[in-house]
Amino acid sequence: MEKSDKTARELYAEIKANPARKRFGFGRKAVLVNIDPQKAYTRTDLYKTAYETDPRQLEYVNNLAKVFRALDWPVVWTHVAYMDSADDAGIWGTRTNTPDSLQNIKFDSDRSQFDERLEIDQAKDVIYLKKMPSAFFETHLQSLCVWHQVDTVILTGGSTSGCIRATAVDSLSRGYRTIVPEECVADKHESYHFANLTDLALKYADVVDVQEVFDWLATQDSE
């Protein structure tokens, strides 16, 4: 095992600065998957489970969603919530049992609600309730991708080390070009955040500046 005294942020910066690193690239059509931008994870003023990396994250996500809708491309929002018994959290809900624990995000609770700053189109966007880290796990996301004939999955939300990573691995495993706009994902601690951006960039996805995504979208025509 190679050892280093560099921080996770420094290691990520080295990867990002490597122009020879081959990318998967964008394809022909994309789906935007916004993972769990709910109050439990976005309202740092209310909940200690929440996190913020880039203060403009939700602004970027809203603007991406607008462009996707203009192209008539699918926009997906996921959130998590569980029964009072937490039986639907499975083994994932057994490690802790505090008011802040995952399985205690109950239906109709404030923690389960999407952040009020999000501009969700209830008529056009797709909303999935998920129970596990990956947005693909036991949801209809795969079927949606097939129906819309997308070959590229763009991920936003959080956490970088949890649901973003899990969804990126599943996305790649299903044969999709997977894009993670750096400013659009967040985590609780910079160590987890940058370590997983590094791993994603090396193995599973293209981690890019959000402006690169906007630039690519600007070259696309609506069907």
The four Cα atoms 11, 13, 15, 21 give a dihedral, to 10 degrees, of: 180
Bridge partners, 160 (sequence order): none
3-state secondary structure of 201: helix
Query: The tokens 């993972």 sit on which residue?
Result: 35
Is 163 labeled as catalytic in the residue annotation?
yes
DSSP letter for each residue of 31-59: EEEEE--BHHHH-TTT-TT---SSTTHHH
Bridge partners, 78 (sequence order): 35, 128
Among 76, 163, 180, 201, the one annotated catalytic: 163
Residue pair 151/180 in contact by the 8 Å Cβ criterion: no
Tokens, residue 168? 């990126």
Residue pair 195/11 in contact by the 8 Å Cβ criterion: yes
Query: The tokens 């129970």 sit on which residue?
Result: 131
Catalytic residues: 163
